[in-house]
């Protein structure tokens, strides 16, 4: 039986995925690395330093910067990002998410956040969602980021649940791979092609309801 839900944040709860992309796009331009749709998609869910490595690699520049320079570039991206989310408000919440969180609480499901973002606590606060997430995985304590399963395994541990009792919700291929690797049920939000590994796929957050999830799990059983 499903007893808990483990959420990604950027691109699942809020539109912040768009701001991460814009902030990296600025860095890629500064570095002279061509920004493509596949680079943009590949960066989703990936930690800050791993994202920088991915961008440098895309431009064959992985050996051109010292560790110190890389740390500066990553800090600049975060400054770009913080500027972009400066005006964020509840309009940046994705549709259906507050209702779904309320419904989960009403049905006593356990809820946890498994975001790679070190900014997620600020965002939960800004969007008035902190009360839904007593449990948040601290990404700075992880050995490996998504697509490694560690973050979703840790999420189930925080909830005191077995992986098979948890559903993970993600908008990124790396995140779906992490959920699947952890032995949990994966829900993808987005594009069928990009998220083909998801157990259940919804095209929009509007469709994430307990009734729709139950129906999809019956079909898959
Ligand atoms: C993930 C985002 O949630 O967090 C990525 O999908 C982002 O785009 C990653 O790079 C790390 O975020 P932050 O805020 O710690 O740089
Ligand atoms: Mg995401």
Residues in the chain: 221
User: Taking the mean position of all CA atoms in its chain, how far away is CA 6?
Assistant: 10
The three-state DSSP-derived secondary structure of 13-63 is CECHHHHHHHHHHHHHHHHCCCCCHHHHHHHCCCCHHHHHHHHHHHCCCCC
Q: What's the CA-to-centroid distance between 1 and ligand 1, angstroms?
A: 31
Q: Please tell me the number of the ligand nearest to residue 77's CA.
A: 1
* Ligand 1 site-directed mutation target among 21, 117, 126, most atoms within 8 Å of CB: 117
Q: Which residue has the tokens 């990002």?
A: 81
Q: What is this structure's pTM?
A: 0.96
ipTM for the complex?
Answer: 0.99
User: Tens-digit pLDDT profile for the chain (221 aa)?
Assistant: 999 999 999 999 999 999 999 999 999 999 999 999 999 999 999 999 999 999 999 999 999 999 999 999 999 999 999 999 998 988 899 999 999 999 999 999 999 999 999 999 999 999 999 999 999 999 999 999 999 999 999 999 999 999 999 999 999 999 999 999 999 999 999 999 999 999 999 999 999 999 999 999 998 87
CB 117 near ligand 1, within 6 Å: yes
Q: What pLDDT score was predicted for residue 117?
A: 98
Q: What pLDDT score was predicted for residue 87?
A: 85
Residue among 7, 46, 48 nearest 146 (CA): 46
Q: What's the CA-to-centroid distance between 218 and ligand 1, angstroms?
A: 33
């Amino acid at each position: 039986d499903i007893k808990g839900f483990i959420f990604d944040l950027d691109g699942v709860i809020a539109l912040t995925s768009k701001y991460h992309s814009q902030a990296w796009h600025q860095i890629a331009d500064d570095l002279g690395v061509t920004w493509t749709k596949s680079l943009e998609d590949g960066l989703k869910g990936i930690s800050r330093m791993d994202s920088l490595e991915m961008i440098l690699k895309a431009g064959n520049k992985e050996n051109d910067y010292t560790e110190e320079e890389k740390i500066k570039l990553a800090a600049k991206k975060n400054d770009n990002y913080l500027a972009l989310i400066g005006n964020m408000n509840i309009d940046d919440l994705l549709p259906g998410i507050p209702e779904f969180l309320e419904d989960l609480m009403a049905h006593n499901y356990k809820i946890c956040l498994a975001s790679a973002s070190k900014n997620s606590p600020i965002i939960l606060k800004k969007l008035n969602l902190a009360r839904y997430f007593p449990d948040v995985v601290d990404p700075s304590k992880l050995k490996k980021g998504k697509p490694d399963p560690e973050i979703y395994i840790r999420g189930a541990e925080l909830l005191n649940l077995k992986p098979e009792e948890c559903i993970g919700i993600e908008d990124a291929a790396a995140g779906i791979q992490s959920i699947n690797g952890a032995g949990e049920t994966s829900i993808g939000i987005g594009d069928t092609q990009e998220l083909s590994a998801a157990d259940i796929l919804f095209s929009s957050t509007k469709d994430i309801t307990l009734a729709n999830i139950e129906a999809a799990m019956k079909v898959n059983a």
